Chains A and B, each alone.
Chain A
Amino acid sequence: MAELEEKVPDAAQPKKEQRPVITRRALCVGLGGTAALLGLGAVRYAGSAPLVRPPGGQDEDALVSACIRCEKCYEVCPRGVIAPAHLEDGILNMRTPVMDFSANWCDWCTEENGGTPLCVASCPTEALKTGSTPETGALGLAELNQDLCLAYRLIGCRFCYDACEYEAMALDENNRPYVLNDQCNGCGACESVCVSLQNGSISAGATERAIVVRPLEA
């Protein structure tokens, strides 16, 4: 190189000024991208409804702040009850973990992992915080919609009552189930077994089951 510079004595001169920190064009593109990111960030203030989250994810603000949407928690759940939140749940929440009790429910991994929630253990960002138990960490609260519930049509159903392992459901004098709010931890067992949607005439127009777990903050 030294050789070349001797032959072209002034090659070194322009070189110095031609090594800009950044070109104007690159800076503009970069700032454009930054502006887009800042614009997108504003979805934080667009307002989003709280969702039913996996154990340890009940502090909505903390979860949304920390979660990098890595999909690990939904993968490890042995019962497959964690799903990615949909666009319908807000852009901010999209792909963050929400509970899906359509086929199964959460027992804080008692059966599969001795009570240590696998989702919490595997969340690398601590978006799901440790320390949640069935007794202390309610995921939500079951809500029974009497208009949709078969038992309230006197069809005689008590699947949800039988499914609840936390003694959070009782039967009234007509054998109709109801939720004991202070006992319910939102595990979703009741929702996972509810058959109301399978009954066409009663559920006509219904989009959800007669008993669903609602987020606590809602």
Chain B
Amino acid sequence: MNTKRLRTIIPLAVIGVIAVGFATHVGVGTLSAIGWQDISLLCPLGALMTMIATKTMIPRAVISVVIAIALILLFARAFCGWICPVPVVSKIRGVFSKKTSNTDMTGTGVLPADENPLVKAAKGSEAADAPAPLSADEQAALSGCGHSCSSCAEKRATFDSRHVILGGSLLSAAVFGFPVFCLICPIGLTFATIVLVMRLFAFGDVAWGVILVPTLLLAEVVFFRKWCSKFCPISALMSLVGKANRTFVPAIDNAKCRESAQGTSCEACAAVCPQGINVRHPEAGMSFSECTKCRACVEACPTRAITMPFLPKKAAPSTVIVEDDETVPAA
């Protein structure tokens, strides 16, 4: 089974387990507080907001935040790629528009091929018979593009709109004394929809919420196509903590990579990454802290040069250093 299928099936299975748990009163909770009976791992954002709103330290919330940080350190945004129901729910967009997007909702995706300087550079050098040395323009493109185009600037900025909204979520919890974001969280709304629909059929519990909750959820994923990369404060939290992620980071075996081994341009990994990460030239794309560990790059690489080792291997001196761009010293 390929990873892409698996990444749809797992969130659906999670939804299924939670729905069955709800119907049978076993106490697995929802993703907002998943666990067993009185042991729950709270959503880290919910945990922070509830503590800010009540101005108290809540032991289970503190423990949840610590565990969540540990998990993010290990897996960066893997939650987005493998567990979160929102990208799966967003597939419903296909019903509203025929256009298939090249992102999987979780990320900024890649630029359309004809606008992508990297792909252009790759095509340009493929056109030439021999793998010609890259022109200065292409070099510039590969090393991070010398032109100021807004999408590139956005990719390289330290913070983006998600981080501001994360701040806004915490601020609104402090100002109004309740977790405001929870009211519109698409993850919460997904499970609320399931619970409300189950109650509708089980108890005939008819309420406006049965219509409103799914409508709000659909509005969020349909109208905010870029929810995950532009709005989601949970994603912001993961990307912040994920800056320190060093495990399972895609790494290139330079002996196999077309570019380093044969001098041909390739960029297949950059083109396929839903997060806009350029594994070959990390400084040209988003930071690895956005990596959802989706394995798209691993599978797209024509020479199978990319792996996701548990720990980063020491890079040989002559190779391109694949590192979180945060740590690349400013020249």
Indicate whether A and B interact.
yes
B172 touches which of A8, A38, A118, A121 (Cβ 8 Å): A38
Q: Is A153 an interface residue (CB 8 A)?
A: no
* Contact between chains at A65 and B177 (CB < 8 Å): yes
Asked if B300 is at the interface of the complex by the 8 Å CB criterion, the answer is no
Min CB gap A41→B, angstroms:
4
A22 & B163 in contact (Cβ 8 Å cutoff): yes
Q: A30-B164, A84-B195 are in contact. Are A122 and B146 (CB under 8 A)?
A: no
Residue contact B207 to A41, C-beta cutoff 8 Å:
no
Task: Verify B178–A92 contact, CB threshold 8 A.
Answer: yes
Binds A, one of B82-90, B147-155, B270-278: B147-155
- Residue of A7, A23, A121 touching B136 (CB-CB under 8 A): A7
Contact residues, B45-97 vs A (CB, 8 A): 46-47, 49-50, 53-54, 56, 58, 60-61, 64
B interface majority secondary structure:
helix
B231 interfacial contact with A, CB 8 Å: yes
Distance in angstroms between the alpha carbons of A61 and B169 in the assembled complex = 19
Cβ-based interface call for B117 (8 A): no
Q: At the interface, yes or no: A62 with Cβ under 8 Å from chain B?
A: yes
Partner of B195, one of A62, A74, A100: A74
Q: Which residue from chain B places its CB closest to the CB of A32 in the assembled complex?
A: B161
Report whether A27 and B164 are in contact in the complex, using a CB–CB cutoff of 8 Å.
yes
Could you tell me if A95 and B172 are in contact, using CB atoms closer than 8 angstroms?
A: no
Contact residues, B1-57 vs A (CB, 8 A): 21-22, 25-30, 32-33, 35, 37-38, 40, 42-43, 46-47, 49-50, 53-54, 56
Q: How far is the CB of B134 from chain A (nearest CB, A)?
A: 9
Complex contact A72–B29 (CB within 8 A): yes
Interface size range on B against A? 35 or more
**With A4-B142, A30-B164, A87-B208 in contact, do A68 and B175 touch (Cβ < 8 Å)?**
no
A198 within 8 A of B: no
Contact of A38 with B171 in the complex, beta carbons under 8 Å: yes
Contact A22 B172 (CB under 8 A): no
Chain A interfacial positions (CB closer than 8 Å to B): 1, 4-5, 7-8, 11-12, 14-16, 18-23, 25-31, 33-35, 37-38, 40-42, 44, 61-62, 64-72, 74-78, 80, 83-84, 86-88, 91-92, 94-95, 100, 102-103, 118, 121-122, 124-127
